Amino acid sequence: MEYLYAPWRSGYFKESQEECIFCQISNQNLDIPNRVFYRDDKIFCVMNKYPYVPGHFLIIPHHHTDTPCDLKEDIWLHLQKFAQKGIGLLNEFGAKGINMGMNIKQVGGAGIPGHIHLHLIPRFFGDTNFFTTIGDCRAYGVDFEEIYWRIKELSLKYFVEN
């Protein structure tokens, strides 16, 4: 059996929160420090704190639940509508492919199992290479601050105008 390790994410697993981090972000008016680039009354979109690749973001309902079954249908459909728009956003961002998914509950692989969230992960040619495979780390030749502002700018086109 082979094992896949991602040691660059160890800080994520060591963080301890008494209150749900997504509920904190939802209730705060600190969008720029929290890297929220879009919010409305049903959902908010935030850059992943420990991204797999630059541009990796989450779509999160404000409602705290560990399963989509507890969401009102209009919120679930709204989240899915923004997932579809997010694919267009990431295509314009330069993605050559996209992974989209939701890990439900801890056993389903959720890193924050108490609050569902949908991942949109842009993929690029060469975004995984030998360095990740044998070096136990990742190197990004980009500025994540610039990425946030570019995604925020694109969200105006894809999330606000449409």
Active site residues: 117
Q: At 162, which amino acid appears?
A: N
Longest dimension (CA), the chain: 49
* Distance of alpha carbon 46 from alpha carbon 3, whole angstroms: 29
* Distance of alpha carbon 25 from alpha carbon 60, whole angstroms: 10
3-state secondary structure of 93: helix
Please check if 48 is assigned to a binding site.
yes
* Distance of alpha carbon 147 from alpha carbon 153, whole angstroms: 10
Q: Angle formed by the axes of helices 144-155 and 73-93, to 10°?
A: 120
Q: How many residues does the chain have?
A: 162
The number of C-alpha atoms within 13 Å of 130 and in the hemisphere containing its C-beta is 0
Can you say which residues are annotated as belonging to the binding site? 48, 119
Annotated binding site for substrate: 48, 119
